[in-house]
Amino acid sequence: MATSNLIRVSSPSYSTSSPNHAPFKRVGTHNGSFHCDEALGCFMIRLTDKFSNSEIIRTRDPKVLEGLDAVLDVGGVYDPNHDRYDHHQKGFEEVFGHGFNTKLSSAGLVYKHFGKEIIAKELQLGEDHPDVHRLFLAIYKSFMEAIDAIDNGINQFDTDKPPKYVNNTHISSRVGRLNLDWTDPDQSPEKENEAFQRAMALAGSEFLESVRFHARSWLPARSIVMECIAERFDIDPSGEIMVLKRFCPWKLHLFELEAELKVEPLIKYVLYGSLRYILIVIMTQDERGKQWRVQAVAVSPDSFESRKPLPAQWRGLRDDELSKETRISGCVFVHMSGFIGGNQTYEGALVMARAALKM
């Protein structure tokens, strides 16, 4: 993406384009201090066919904005038919939909209207493919919604109490720190525009990393967890024990799929091999000798409390002492909180999970 050359249009406006290629379109946003939403929005819109290789014009001049092909985060108009994507005007209440109710920022508006196209290109699939739709929703939930909420001043938690700690490591905060420092003697528009370029690059690179992670890792993991949920009654008649066919990031998928599939009863324990390459479907007897984990499922994705922690009398014990207490051979450990334990074999881990269900 050609963003390495700054061309003064009219002070204090600026544009990004390549001197070797005439831009097809011109996309406007405001100058001055910037936020993550317009930096990311400008990056994303240039990934589309319609605005590929576009100039980014930074200005608040209404006459300049009026003549541009698209305008983000300035102008006081939301009109996708004319590619106007501001969210500051009175009466604006646009949300992403699909169960999400956070008011959109300019980045969220661009994603709502162009996200499927961007994802489809990355996956090399049609925009109507089910996997494109799944990623469209998942990336909004895990990446985009926080940017919308922070830009619109929406608290993460409904509470009057102050947070227990400060988090200034999120993408919106890091983009904000790229603005010119008040101690910098050079506060020129050119310096400001260079900073905005860096903001676009930072926000855009993390967005693309999120898209690629979801395509490469999230989507295959979801399929694995779905298959394992379907087979849970083959593991134990209770249906409350799930075994991963292959180790993968499973926790968020489990919660989402339980709700989506209306799973009853909820799964209490997940078993997986401590070596990630173990494939249960092709496991030999020798491979069954690898250590296995029994993990208690949390009550929610962001909670440290388990639905049914491993029994209190097992916690903190190890090896022979644990095996003696449980009357199960091959025990390795149980964590002090009861959220996870281990056994030397798959069979032993399964016995631990079954015994814990009854206690």
Q: What is the pLDDT of residues 241-282, one digit of tens each?
A: 999 988 898 998 999 999 999 999 999 999 999 754 344 433
What share of the chain has pLDDT > 90, as a percent? 81
Name the pTM for this structure: 0.78
pLDDT at 179: 94
**Residue for token pair 């493919």:** 129
Per the structure block, which two tokens stand in for 246?
Answer: 């292959």
pLDDT tens track for 20-57:
555 579 999 999 999 999 999 999 999 999 999 899 99
Other beta carbons less than 10 A from residue 216's beta carbon: 11
DSSP conformation letters of 52-83: TT-EEEE---HHHHHTSSEEES-SS-EEGGGT
DSSP string, 233-289: HHH-TTS-EEE-SB----HHHHHHHHHHHT-SSPP-EEEEESSTT-BGGG--TTGGG
Residue type, 160: D
How large is the average pLDDT for residues 174-201? Answer: 93
Residue 173 is predicted with a pLDDT of: 94
